[in-house]
């Protein structure tokens, strides 16, 4: 089975500060890992994904994440927060063995203070 744990249901940063959203996963097989963003009353938009290859992946809007197999982590970072980054962020895992179904974490709400 697979599972995702997102540490911190709410994270608050100042505009211009580093954004760090934590994600740890559990998977008995090599995982595919994803980060999504959701604005209020909207669907989810893919920020970035890790499948194979380079462990540092870059996504849209200046976000990036690093796959660390030894730590079973896939933390999301952005060097400088912008007010428009305020949203809810979801980490998700899937694998071919499990029918490529996405399993989501509970989400982290990011607040950006001016």
Partner 1 sequence: DGGITQSPKYLFRKEGQNVTLSCEQNLNHDAMYWYRQDPGQGLRLIYYSQIVNDFQKGDIAEGYSVSREKKESFPLTVTSAQKNPTAFYLCASRTGEAYGYTFGSGTRLTVV
CB of 38 to partner 1, least distance (A): 9
Nearer to partner 1, 20 or 46 (CB): 46
CB of 81 to partner 1, least distance (A): 23
Parallel, antiparallel, or unpaired for β 87-94 and 103-104?
antiparallel
Nearer to partner 1, 17 or 59 (CB): 59
**Angstrom distances, CA of residue 35 to CA of 45, 77, 114:** 9, 11, 25
Nearer to partner 1, 96 or 111 (CB): 96
Nearer to partner 1, 18 or 46 (CB): 46
The CA distance from 56 to 64, in Å, is 7
Number of H helices, E strands in the chain: 0, 11
Residues forming the site for partner 1 (CB under 8 A):
4, 9, 32, 34, 36, 41-46, 49, 51-52, 90, 94, 96, 99-107
CB of 48 to partner 1, least distance (A): 9
CA geometry: angle at 28 spanning 45 and 53, to 5°? 55
């Amino acid at each position: 089975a697979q599972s995702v744990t997102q540490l911190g249901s709410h994270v608050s940063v100042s505009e211009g500060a580093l954004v760090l959203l934590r994600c740890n996963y559990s998977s008995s097989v090599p995982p595919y890992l994803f980060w999504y963003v959701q604005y209020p009353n909207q669907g989810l938009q893919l920020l970035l994904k890790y499948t194979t290859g380079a462990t540092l992946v870059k996504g849209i809007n200046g976000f990036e994440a690093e796959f660390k197999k030894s730590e079973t982590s896939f933390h999301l970072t952005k060097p400088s927060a912008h007010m428009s980054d305020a949203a809810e962020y979801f980490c998700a895992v899937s694998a071919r063995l499990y029918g490529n179904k996405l399993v989501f974490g509970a989400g982290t709400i990011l607040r950006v203070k001016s």
